[in-house]
Amino acid sequence: MGIVTALVRSTFLVNAVYSESAREHGITMPQGQLLCVLMGRPYGMTELGAVLRLAKSSLTGLVDRTERNGLVRREPDPRDTRAVLVALTPEGKRLAGEFYAETCRRIEQLPAGLDAADRDRLADLLGRVVTDNEVPPVFLDR
């Protein structure tokens, strides 16, 4: 299998696990991504849009729906009175932690057929691809 096929198919595999975990936690995959990003810290809307690679209207809808579910809140940005930060609520923190732990557990099982050295090598190579392409921290390292 070539590199393109392997990367694309592995993306589909990880997305399927991510979607299933999100569904079981009563959220959508984009909401799961939002919660995982916000685990690190609150984000401004512009920065959040760049990290999630969403257009402003799509991001606004995502934040609105997640806010209605009581998982995030908008709060004033102390550095810019015209802007808001999106932060996790206590319920959002709880759910984000559960979703993150379960999703990590499931994804860690995907390369179960590899020995420890191959798993380390795979992590190193994928980490370099991510770093070289400046992928934002949409999922924290455990």
What is the 3-state secondary structure of the chain?
Answer: CCHHHHHHHHHHHHHHHHHHHHHHCCCCHHHHHHHHHHCCCCEEHHHHHHHHCCCHHHHHHHHHHHHHCCCEEEEEECCEEEEEEEEECHHHHHHHHHHHHHHHHHHHHCCCCCCHHHHHHHHHHHHHHHHHCCCCCCCCCC
Q: What is the pTM of this model?
A: 0.86
Residue 137 pLDDT grade (very low, low, confident, very high; cuts 50, 70, 90): confident
What's the mean pLDDT in 134-139?
Answer: 77
Q: What is the pLDDT of residues 8-59, one digit of tens each?
A: 999 999 999 999 999 999 999 999 999 999 998 999 999 999 999 999 999 9
- Considering only residues 138 and 100, tell me which one the structure prediction assigns the higher pLDDT: 100
> Which architecture does CATH list for 3-132?
Orthogonal Bundle (1.10)
